[in-house]
């Protein structure tokens, strides 16, 4: 419709992953390489030497989302200004790491040297 009615896009597209059906814990959606978000992520990740991007997937896990939001609220209450200082971080991994992140979220115990081995963190 943009070309037909001479509409213009004012904001970048929002990528929404629907909540998974009740019988599943997680929903995954592949990010199309043609999307602006994909291109932006690839550009940001190019600073990593020898990086190989196979695909980028968006994850929707309502269980870990609830945990995250609960912790965020707790931290906001503990801070004077309420600023939790969120940052966008990226994580690459292999095999079992993919399943761990998808199903259980990040595990800080694997932060650092272990991430080079493909452990999930």
What pLDDT is recorded for position 101? Answer: 77
What is the tens place of the pLDDT at every residue in 20-76? Answer: 777 778 888 888 999 998 999 899 888 888 888 888 888 888 888 898 899 999 999
Q: Which parts of 9-76 are beta strand (E)? A: 27-30, 57-60
Long-range interactions of 2-7: CB distance < 8 A, separation 24+: none
What is the tens place of the pLDDT at every residue in 74-92? Answer: 999 998 888 888 887 766 6
What pTM did the predictor assign? 0.60
Q: Domain extents for the chain?
A: 2-90
Q: CB 102: neighbour CB atoms within 10 A?
A: 18
Decide: 61 and 105 in contact? Cβ < 8 Å.
yes
For residues 118 and 84, what is the distance between their CA atoms, to the nearest angstrom?
Answer: 28
Strand partners, 29: 58
- The number of CA neighbours under 13 Å toward the Cβ of 82 is 1
CA 41 distance to own-chain centroid: 11
In the chain, % of residues over pLDDT 70: 69
pLDDT of 120 over the 60 cut: no
Decide: 2 and 8 in contact? Cβ < 8 Å.
yes
């Amino acid at each position: 419709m943009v070309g037909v009615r001479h509409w213009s896009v004012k904001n970048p597209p929002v990528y929404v992953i629907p909540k998974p059906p009740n019988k599943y814990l997680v929903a995954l959606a592949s990010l199309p390489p043609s999307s602006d978000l994909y291109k932006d992520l690839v550009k940001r990740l190019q600073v990593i030497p020898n990086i190989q991007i196979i695909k980028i997937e968006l994850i929707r896990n309502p269980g870990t989302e609830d945990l995250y939001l609960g912790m965020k609220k707790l931290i906001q209450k503990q801070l004077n200004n309420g600023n939790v200082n969120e940052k966008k971080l990226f994580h690459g991994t292999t095999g079992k790491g993919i399943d761990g992140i998808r199903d259980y979220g990040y595990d800080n115990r694997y932060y650092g040297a272990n991430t080079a081995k493909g452990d999930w963190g």
